[in-house]
């Protein structure tokens, strides 16, 4: 972990980076000015959802800007009533006592006793309760700064200037539909930053992808120019421990550039990009293949050869799918591979695949796992399979020379669907059988197919008119 020493108006990190306090205040003042905030009116930033990334994101802002209390208010919302189980409470107690700074902080706040009592079984802790002390239920080993936690959604969001969506994609529409009721009387339009990685599939009027930013737009009516997406490559706990990390904020230029500047820190470099939806979809796609990577690692006892073979095949499928989704897919190659790499190394989806293959988890336990949160790759497998199995998206099979649904050229995706969703395959071993099929083509061929054929399907990202026109022309 990178430590820091404060004094003389700046913070000096042990890696040599310096963050001047007045520089932070200037960045805060610039954003306040862009939002038209009066001197007496604080900038209100609210995180909605308290998973690992959502909690870390709010904590980073609190660490950076929380000292300017008259200029900014930072808080986070999570649902009340989620109990911390006994095993987690005991582990939490161990974490607290291993960190002198955390122990002293809790003693000063008169909060330590409740963790003692929870360890002894004399009381129950709740997720929103421990979050106030800086403990995210999905990331117990990484203590955060104390956070202002609100459990009433209306209280949290009704006057927020910036809302950070830290919800899973599967919950985003429902929660933001509720939020829309609290914004009916608003005069100003808020800015929304979505951290969610995942997609939903819609089949009517043509097969297309619905991303979290699109869900938010439809649920609230907030214009897309005010909705942005922040993606990796990064791991939440490592960012908070000040390991050098990068992120990318995508959306309209009006807000992405000033927000990139506002979020940037010496150890957390934030780039910006205009291609919001495609980057967002790619964030969901890599979770699909991360689950399979975890399975392969566990089933082959971490064989480097097997993992590299899997990586070759899964990345070729991802490149193929990217050519279906994006008009200029080459621009996504770097970000997609980088985000995939970090997720395969140390992401919850790869971990989930490993636990399934080892028999330490079962599919019947669902895709929300205690201590990890929502495994987004499961719903993403279903969504991508449903979309790419539609005959209206048919492509020409290179060997059989006949139209086939795109999923027929994605054997790894098909196998993951059969294991995780339809359960036609009763064991994770099926992923190895697919990988070791002697009839499986060189992954290079799939990439060549993608690059030499006009596979781009604009309808997949919500442009149905163009796609319908191309279908009509083909039929004619």
Specify the CATH number for the domain of residue 259. 3.40.50.720
| Residue 452 placed within a domain | yes
92-121: pLDDT as tens digits: 999 999 999 999 999 999 999 999 999 999
Q: Confirm if 228 and 251 have CB atoms less than 8 A apart.
A: yes
Computed over every residue of the chain, the mean pLDDT equals: 88
Supply the pTM of this predicted model.
Answer: 0.87
Q: What is the pLDDT of residue 4?
A: 44
Asked if residue 161 and residue 32 are part of one domain, the reply reads yes
Asked if residue 459 and residue 313 are part of one domain, the reply reads yes
Q: What is the pLDDT of residue 463?
A: 60
The structural domain count of the chain equals 3
| Residue 451 placed within a domain | yes
Asked if residue 189 and residue 62 are part of one domain, the reply reads yes
| Residue 137 placed within a domain | no
Q: What is the pLDDT of residue 198?
A: 86
What integer is the mean pLDDT of 292-314?
93
Q: What is the pLDDT of residue 443?
A: 82
String of DSSP letters for 437-458: -TTPPPHHHHHHHHHHS----G
Asked if residue 170 and residue 157 are part of one domain, the reply reads yes
CATH number for the domain spanning 346: value is: 1.10.1040.10
What Rg do the C-alpha atoms of the chain give, in angstroms?
23
- The three-class DSSP label of residue 281 is helix
286 is catalytic: yes
| Residue 141 placed within a domain | no
Asked if residue 14 and residue 118 are part of one domain, the reply reads no
Asked if residue 43 and residue 90 are part of one domain, the reply reads no
Asked if residue 231 and residue 101 are part of one domain, the reply reads no
425-465: pLDDT as tens digits: 989 999 999 988 877 778 887 887 777 767 788 888 876 44
Distances from the Cα of 359 to the Cα of 228, 353, 427, angstroms: 39, 10, 10
Asked if residue 284 and residue 268 are part of one domain, the reply reads no
Domain end position, chosen among 276, 301, 316: 276
Assign residue 111 a region: left if phi > 0, alpha if psi is -120 to 50, beta otherwise?
alpha
Asked if residue 185 and residue 39 are part of one domain, the reply reads yes
Q: Given a cut of 90, is residue 157 above it in pLDDT?
A: yes
Asked if residue 346 and residue 468 are part of one domain, the reply reads yes
Q: Is pLDDT larger for residue 6 or for residue 264?
A: 264
| Residue 136 placed within a domain | no
Distances from the Cα of 475 to the Cα of 38, 393, 468, angstroms: 60, 13, 11
Indicate which residue of 37, 114, 286, 418 is catalytic.
286
Q: What is the pLDDT of residue 459?
A: 83
Q: Which domain holds residue 197?
A: 4-81+147-276
Asked if residue 181 and residue 247 are part of one domain, the reply reads yes
Asked if residue 403 and residue 317 are part of one domain, the reply reads yes
User: At 303, is the pLDDT very low, low, confident or very high (cuts 50, 70, 90)?
Assistant: very high
| Residue 132 placed within a domain | no
Residue 157 to residue 46: CA distance in whole angstroms? 7
| Residue 241 placed within a domain | yes
| Residue 134 placed within a domain | no
Q: What is the pLDDT of residue 21?
A: 54
């Amino acid at each position: 972990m990178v430590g820091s020493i404060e004094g003389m108006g700046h913070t000096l990190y042990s890696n040599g980076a310096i963050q001047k306090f007045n520089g932070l205040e200037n960045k805060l003042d610039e954003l306040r000015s862009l939002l038209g905030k009066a001197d007496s009116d604080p900038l209100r930033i609210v995180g909605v959802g308290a998973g690992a990334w959502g909690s870390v994101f709010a904590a980073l802002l609190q660490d950076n800007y929380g000292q300017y209390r008259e200029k900014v208010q930072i808080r986070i919302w999570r649902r009340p009533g989620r109990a911390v189980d006994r095993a987690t409470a005991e582990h939490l107690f161990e974490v607290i006592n291993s960190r002198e700074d955390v122990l002293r902080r809790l003693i000063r706040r008169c909060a330590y006793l409740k963790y003692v009592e929870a360890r002894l079984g004399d009381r129950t802790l709740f997720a929103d309760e421990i979050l106030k002390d800086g403990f995210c239920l999905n990331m117990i080993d990484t203590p955060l700064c104390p956070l202002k936690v609100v459990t009433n959604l209306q209280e949290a969001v009704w006057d927020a200037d910036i809302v950070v969506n830290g919800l899973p994609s599967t919950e985003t529409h429902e929660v933001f539909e509720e939020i829309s009721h609290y914004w009916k009387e608003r005069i100003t339009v808020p800015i929304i930053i979505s951290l969610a990685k995942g997609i939903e599939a819609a089949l009517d009027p043509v097969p297309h992808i619905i991303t979290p930013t699109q869900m938010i737009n439809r649920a609230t009516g907030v214009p897309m120019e005010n909705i942005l997406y922040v993606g990796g490559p990064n791991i939440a706990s490592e960012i908070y421990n000040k390991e050098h990390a990068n992120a990318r904020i995508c959306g309209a230029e009006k807000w992405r550039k000033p927000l990139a500047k506002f979020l940037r820190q010496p150890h957390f470099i934030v780039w910006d990009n205009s291609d919001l939806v495609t980057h967002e979809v790619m964030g969901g796609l890599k979770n699909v293949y991360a689950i399979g990577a975890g399975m392969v690692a566990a089933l082959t006892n971490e064989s480097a050869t097997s993992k590299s073979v899997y990586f070759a095949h899964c990345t070729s499928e991802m490149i193929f799918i990217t050519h279906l989704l994006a008009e200029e897919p080459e621009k996504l190659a770097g970000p997609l591979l980088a985000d995939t790499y970090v997720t395969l190394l140390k992401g919850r989806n790869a971990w989930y695949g490993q636990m399934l293959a080892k028999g330490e988890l079962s599919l019947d336990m669902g895709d929300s796992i205690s201590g990890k949160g929502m495994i987004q790759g499961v719903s993403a497998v279903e969504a991508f399979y449903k979309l790419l199995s539609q005959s209206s998206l048919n492509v020409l099979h290179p060997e059989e020379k006949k139209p086939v649904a795109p999923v027929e050229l994605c054997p790894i995706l098909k196998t993951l669907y059969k294991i995780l969703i339809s359960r036609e395959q009763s064991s994770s071993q099926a992923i190895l059988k697919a990988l070791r099929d002697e009839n499986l083509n060189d992954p290079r061929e799939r990439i060549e197919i993608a690059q030499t054929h006009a596979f781009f399907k604009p309808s997949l990202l919500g442009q149905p008119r163009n796609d319908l026109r191309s279908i009509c022309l083909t039929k004619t």
